[in-house]
Amino acid sequence: MKKIILIVVAVLVVGGIVAGTVLKGKKPDAEVEKGKVVRKDLTSLVNCSGTMQPKRKVDVSANTMGTILNLAVVEGGRVQQGDLLMEIDPSEFRAAVLALEATVLTAKADLQLAEASLDQAQEEAARSEELHAEGLVSQQELITARTNSKVEAARVEAARHRITQYQANLAKAQHDLEKVTISAPMSGLITRLNVEQGENVIMGTLNNPGTVLLTIADLGTMEAWVEVDETEVVKVVLGQEATITIDAFPDDEFSGTVTEIGNSPLGTGTGSSSEAVDFEVKITLLDDVPNIRPGLSAKAEITVAQRKDALAVPLGSVTVRDWPLKEEDIRRFKGKRSATQEEVLKPYGFIPKPDEDAEENDLEIEREETEGVFLMVDGFVKFVPVKIGIAGDDDFEIIEGLEEGQELVKGPFRILRELKDGAFVTIEGKDKKGISFGGSGD
């Protein structure tokens, strides 16, 4: 019995030596990195950057022209709604009000005169009616008296309309006079003060904006105004959670919620050149930030999807091929390795030998660019189409096409993009001494 065991061992050793001799000097088609299909929790994030801005702020502009006589606030100061901010020289507007008040009084006096003349004309018309009935006044004199009464009535009506017009002008002048006193439209912090006492301010016109005197902001509720690329903004929806980091507070993270998504792009391509197209997304902070200031640089990570216990593969494992595969994307061996390749990959759908008219058939097949991975099976690789879900930081979710525990190629990219179905590979950095299948092209 002992003799038989020694003979078996000797045969195995000789067989190994022979196999090693036959395969000595054989090189793999590629050296690759190995990955694995695993289950893990995945979170898909959209990374973006922008600035911090108050959720509510007001730019106070000039509604009239003039010189600032009294500036009652300073930048950084707090104000309450209704507080005096500044006063513009009221001299011109006060004079206009006084002039129109006098005009209204004159118009009222004119109305009284017109009403008196109307009373007189009406009495004369009535007396002419009586005298005409007695034959003491001619028809022409009666008509004249009637006409004078109508004229005086019209004058009274005109005087009343003039009073209404002058009163409207007076109301406008009084409103203009009120505008020289500028009060705070809201409570908050003065984050910007653009003028000094003694400066002249102008109001805006159709083509020219007016002087923005100052900005009042409510820093109690802040937003991150971030720019999101067009390829990712479609994943963002209202209510999604986000994590915000502010450059001024590098050690802190703040939570927020997406509250607004822009519908118009911030930038577009012009002519033959193409520019990045971004959309503005506003994220409202849920935390208080001490000493926050508008305009601080910020970064945000918006959580657009989450998967628990998802089937996942490394990002670098996924590549693209035309499917079904072209003949040029398939590695077919001849001779010593063909039998091993057929044995290993046939259960995965690998066709060991092409048809005689494969090139002609190849032209008739309709193909579609398909995402997939290269499975590793006993030193050979097989391209398998997959259906991709969300993308995490380092992994893709796999919805269809793979099973947990399968080994696959995860890089390098320069190898993966040229790798062929059925190729013989070794693991990068692994000790290649010993016996392995295959050669470089036999």
Local confidence band at 328 (pLDDT 50, 70, 90 cut-offs): confident
Local confidence band at 2 (pLDDT 50, 70, 90 cut-offs): very low
Q: Which residue has the higher pLDDT, 50 or 436?
A: 50
Residues in the chain: 442
Question: Per residue in 249-298, pLDDT tens?
Answer: 999 999 999 999 999 998 655 544 557 789 999 999 998 888 888 999 99
Judge whether 231 and 217 are in contact, CB under 8 Å.
no
Return d(Cα 400, Cα 372) in angstroms, integer.
10
Return d(Cα 371, Cα 318) in angstroms, integer.
7
What does the pLDDT read at residue 335? 72
Express as a percent the part of the chain with pLDDT over 70: 85
What does the pLDDT read at residue 5? 42
Residue 16 pLDDT more than 50?
no
Residue 98 pLDDT more than 90?
yes
Question: Per residue in 201-252, pLDDT tens?
Answer: 887 654 555 678 999 999 989 999 999 999 999 999 999 999 999 999 999 9
- Average pLDDT, integer, range 389-415: 91
What does the pLDDT read at residue 13? 41
Residue 49 pLDDT more than 50?
yes
SS3 assignment, position 290: coil
Express as a percent the part of the chain with pLDDT over 90: 57
- Average pLDDT, integer, range 313-336: 88
What does the pLDDT read at residue 205? 58
For residue 286, the 8-state DSSP code is S
Q: Which residue has the higher pLDDT, 119 or 364?
A: 119
Q: Please give the sequence-ordered ranges of beta strands (E in DSSP) within 21-149, or none if there are none.
A: 30-36, 38-61, 66-71, 78-79, 84-88
Residue 154 pLDDT more than 90?
yes
Local confidence band at 347 (pLDDT 50, 70, 90 cut-offs): confident
What does the pLDDT read at residue 434? 36
What does the pLDDT read at residue 362? 59
The β-bridge relationship of strands 212-229 and 188-193 is antiparallel
| pLDDT averaged over every residue in the chain | 84
Which residues fall within 8 angstroms of residue 96, CB to CB, at 6 or more apart? Answer: 173, 176, 177
Local confidence band at 354 (pLDDT 50, 70, 90 cut-offs): low
What does the pLDDT read at residue 357? 53
What does the pLDDT read at residue 441? 41
Return the number of other C-beta atoms located less than 10 Å from residue 62's C-beta: 22
Question: Per residue in 104-127, pLDDT tens?
Answer: 999 999 999 999 998 998 998 898
Which residues fall within 8 angstroms of residue 198, CB to CB, at 6 or more apart? Answer: 67, 68
Q: Which of 136-150, 214-228, 230-244, 339-353 is predicted least confidently?
A: 339-353
pTM of the model: 0.68
Judge whether 405 and 370 are in contact, CB under 8 Å.
no
- Average pLDDT, integer, range 50-67: 91
Residue 131 pLDDT more than 70?
yes
